[in-house]
Homo-oligomer: A and B are copies of this chain.
């Protein structure tokens, strides 16, 4: 079910041709049942990943504001064992971070063996918002795609599966979500009047996403464009990507370094 959302290496990407609203032909109850099954399966595999301690996952979320990065993270990764899952959120870079190359702060948060790391925003901001606003020269952006590909290949060679998800919404849907945020005092903290101004650059953002995905979707670190307006379906697709990734990694409990037969029932007394 996730293959259709995957960007093949070298493929050109047209977001206008991709749905933002899909339910995969399922009804909501069915979708929620399958989400629960996926989460049970992912929890089991995540425990094996942690016990094995040889591989890791880097799960990157990018989206326009109100695309659902926070809630997808909560719904899919919240039920995992927190000992094995860590979220890193990347906001505007600090003075220290700006005094380094753009991958410095990101590399520091790469997952150690056995762990799942979720990135809420990431190094892709440096070829998205930075490109849209012209905060870096075109040739600098151009080289960043190469640096990103090389960096993700380095992680892959060290046993990290890199998965990148763009949560895809329409401009109208975003406006509706912004309205909702303004109606609910407990959501005001998520609203920033500056977000409205970014809407003026919507088309530029879509083009920046397309180019970024074209230049950086690889076998070792694929991009997925997930329709994100039907939220239970969005969560289901993301959970499926997680399960598929874990199953392909096939983590195994390590062989015990003792012989369990040396400790028969009742021997620990």
Pick the contact of A147: B99, B108, B157 (CB < 8 A). B157
A194 to chain B minimum Cβ distance, whole angstroms, is 26
Within 126-173 of A, Cβ neighbours of B (below 8 Å) are at 140, 143, 146-147, 150-151, 153-155, 157-158, 160
Q: Which of A20-28, A74-82, A109-117, A207-215 contacts B (4 or more CB under 8 A)?
A: A109-117
Assembly CA distance A101 to B160 (angstroms):
9
A249 to chain B minimum Cβ distance, whole angstroms, is 16
Copies in the complex: 2
Q: Are B102 and A158 in contact, CB atoms less than 8 angstroms apart?
A: yes
Chain A interface size, under 10 / 10 to 19 / 20 to 34 / 35 or more: 20 to 34
Pick the contact of A99: B114, B146, B153 (CB < 8 A). B114
Pick the contact of A101: B99, B103, B154 (CB < 8 A). B154
Given A96-B112, A107-B107, A112-B96, answer yes or no on A101-B158 (Cβ-Cβ < 8 Å). Answer: yes
Assembly CA distance A110 to B140 (angstroms):
20
Within 86-121 of A, Cβ neighbours of B (below 8 Å) are at 96, 99-104, 107-108, 110, 112-114
